[in-house]
């Protein structure tokens, strides 16, 4: 049996490919339904190429070889007698399943950068704003400002406008001219032009005009402070504009979720954009036998690349041949993923926006000044020591949100770079999800 963790585009494609090759598949997801971040756990997906999602949903539902285990949060996994035990929480109780092979398709989450007011009510990530309206039909506010960097801002802004929100601005920090640096990648992915045209039409329909070279650098009492920035994110000049809004949705691309593969000992590496991803071979096999990894956890590249990687992993895990055409498709999509990194870099100028009072770790309410004190007063030289001295990264999210920012603040203050080993250490944790001691002790619900 093959266990697939994550039922987003990569996990669904892997499940369908493996099942069609005759393998028995257990498809896990922490959510109530499949679809992942993009198709949002709904069976009536709307938006660009929505019919593709439906095709995967129908294939999973109709396949006798696929068992979908929903609301199952895999908190750990371990090797046992040559097999792999998947430990998961479902309905407050702990269960496990032992399988021969695993495909990890755990995806990514929004990358956030701190700014004064990012922890105030009304400030959220574009992913959160999108999750509210896609998953629950709730529009986060009346006047919403979308900002940050990356093509993901387009579906969020147009989706919110479509759902009835007044999108008061769409701020992209980088210049669209940066795409000119990747002509070959664009030529190798001609279908991406149709996606662009699709979103340009929606922008026109909702009278949304993106402003380039601008970022939200503060938010308080329903007013966002806007500065002109370059790709370094350093504010140009001292003039700041203000935009009144009840929600600011600010995001800076994505952070892959490497928790489970890290627990299983799969080798990780640092990608060009500083994110930690898994090292996989041409069949998506990780450094560990019988563990394949697909989708955003091997590098941020969009849903199309996730689907292709998922299909390759599903075929490989079920022992089927991988068509050369599929490998060529992935190569072109990897070129596009590199073009995304070149077009939407996230510079370190954000460290100049933050003040001593700005909260960096929201779970443990650790301020920027506390982190600087841990370096200058207490001698911390890396994020692990700063964590022990300040508790930054020790809260419920276990540093998923802040650990990269803490490491970069410390490196900036010490005038050095964050080392690859520190980036990898900051992205890993011993458990993939919180579990209570009672449930852990007897494997039963305490409810």
Interacting residues toward ligand FAD by CB under 6 A:
5-11, 28-31, 36-38, 73-74, 105-110, 127, 130, 152, 155, 254, 257, 260, 295-296, 302-303, 306, 432-433
Q: Closest separation between CB of residue 74 and ligand FAD, Å?
A: 4
Nearer to ligand FAD, 309 or 364 (CB): 309
Nearer to ligand FAD, 52 or 362 (CB): 52
In sign, the C-alpha dihedral spanning 11, 17, 20, 23 is negative
CB atoms within 10 A of CB 359: 21
Nearer to ligand FAD, 126 or 141 (CB): 126
Q: Closest separation between CB of residue 222 and ligand FAD, Å?
A: 24
Partner residues linked to 183 by β-bridges: none
Rounded CA-CA distance 225/281 in Å is 45
Which three-class secondary structure state does DSSP give residue 184? helix
Nearer to ligand FAD, 108 or 366 (CB): 108
Nearer to ligand FAD, 7 or 264 (CB): 7
Q: Closest separation between CB of residue 303 and ligand FAD, Å?
A: 4
Rounded CA-CA distance 343/177 in Å is 8
Q: Closest separation between CB of residue 358 and ligand FAD, Å?
A: 23
Q: Which residue in 53, 57, 59, 87 sits closest to 72, CA to CA?
A: 87
β-strand pairing of 123-124 with 247-252: parallel
Q: Closest separation between CB of residue 13 and ligand FAD, Å?
A: 8
Q: Which residue in 114, 88, 100, 2 sits closest to 354, CA to CA?
A: 114
Nearer to ligand FAD, 31 or 174 (CB): 31
Contact present, 306 and 336 (Cβ < 8 Å): no
Token pair 């929100």 is found at 165
Q: Closest separation between CB of residue 137 and ligand FAD, Å?
A: 16
Report in angstroms the alpha-carbon separations of 369 from 354, 375, 382: 10, 10, 16
């Amino acid at each position: 049996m093959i266990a697939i963790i994550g039922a987003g585009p990569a996990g669904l494609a892997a499940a369908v490919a493996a099942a069609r090759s005759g393998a028995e598949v257990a498809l896990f997801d922490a959510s109530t339904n499949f679809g992942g971040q993009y198709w949002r756990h709904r069976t009536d997906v709307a938006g660009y190429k929505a019919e593709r999602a439906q095709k995967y949903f129908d294939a999973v539902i109709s396949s006798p070889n696929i068992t979908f285990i929903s609301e199952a949060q895999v908190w750990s996994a371990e090797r046992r007698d040559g097999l792999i035990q998947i430990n998961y929480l479902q309905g407050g109780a702990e269960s496990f399943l032992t399988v021969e092979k695993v495909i990890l398709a755990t995806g990514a989450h929004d990358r956030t950068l701190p700014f004064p007011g990012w922890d105030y009510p009304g400030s959220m990530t574009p992913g959160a704003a999108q999750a509210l309206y896609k998953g629950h039909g709730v529009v986060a506010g009346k006047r919403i400002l979308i900002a940050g960097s990356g093509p993901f801002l387009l579906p969020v802004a147009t989706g919110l406008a479509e759902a009835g929100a007044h999108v008061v601005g769409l701020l992209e920090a980088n210049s669209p001219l940066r795409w000119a640096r990747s002509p070959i990648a664009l030529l190798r992915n001609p279908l991406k032009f149709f996606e662009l045209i699709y979103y340009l039409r929606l922008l026109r329909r909702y009278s949304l005009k993106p402003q380039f070279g601008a970022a939200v650098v503060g938010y308080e009492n329903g007013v966002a402070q806007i500065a002109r920035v370059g790709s370094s994110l350093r504010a140009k000049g001292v003039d700041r504009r203000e935009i009144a809004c009840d929600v600011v949705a600010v995001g800076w691309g994505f952070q892959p979720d490497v928790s489970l593969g890290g627990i299983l000992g799969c080798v990780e590496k640092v990608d060009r954009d500083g994110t930690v991803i898994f090292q996989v071979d041409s069949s998506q096999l990780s450094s560990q036998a019988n563990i394949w990894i697909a989708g955003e956890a091997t590098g941020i590249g969009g849903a199309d690349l996730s689907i292709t990687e998922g299909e390759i992993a599903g075929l490989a895990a079920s022992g089927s041949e991988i068509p050369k055409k599929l490998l060529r498709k992935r190569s072109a999509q990897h070129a596009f993923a590199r073009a995304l990194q070149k077009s939407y870099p996230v510079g370190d100028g954000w460290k100049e926006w933050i003040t001593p009072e700005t909260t960096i770790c929201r779970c443990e309410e650790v301020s920027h000044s506390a982190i600087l004190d841990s370096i200058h007063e207490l001698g911390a030289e890396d994020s692990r020591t700063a964590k022990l001295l300040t508790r930054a990264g020790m809260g419920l999210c276990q540093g998923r949100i802040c650990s990269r920012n803490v490491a970069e603040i410390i490196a900036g203050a010490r005038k050095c770079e964050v080392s690859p080993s520190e980036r990898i250490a900051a992205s890993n944790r011993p458990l993939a999800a919180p579990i209570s001691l009672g449930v852990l002790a007897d494997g039963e619900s305490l409810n």
